[in-house]
Amino acid sequence: SARVAFIATSLAEWQGSGEGHLGTTLNAMQSSFAKARAAAPCVLLIDELDSVGDRHRFEARHKDYSTQVVNGLL
């Protein structure tokens, strides 16, 4: 009803775009935002956004990776 482009993505899609390495995840994320900018005005839906997590609650084992994902999103 908004008559604008609709683009849907998710953290799982970003992580599944390659080997799940940080660089491929961030590149896929940036690609989604570039696609949204190119289609502006549009609606960009990031499904299950809460799965990205909270930088203050990450386990030590995944903290560096997950913090960079959050930083890239912000």
**What 3-state DSSP class applies to 6?**
strand
Question: Taking residues 8-19, what's their average pLDDT?
Answer: 90
Angle between helices 63-73 and 22-39 (to 10 degrees): 10
Question: Taking residues 2-21, what's their average pLDDT?
Answer: 91
**Helical segments of the chain, H only:** 11-15, 22-39, 63-73
Q: Does residue 20 have a pLDDT over 80?
A: no
Query: Which pLDDT tens digit goes with each residue over 27-38?
Result: 999 999 999 999
In angstroms, rounded to a whole number, what is the distance separating the alpha carbons of residues 26 and 15?
8
In angstroms, rounded to a whole number, what is the distance separating the alpha carbons of residues 5 and 37?
11
Answer whether 67's CB lies under 8 Å from 22's CB. no
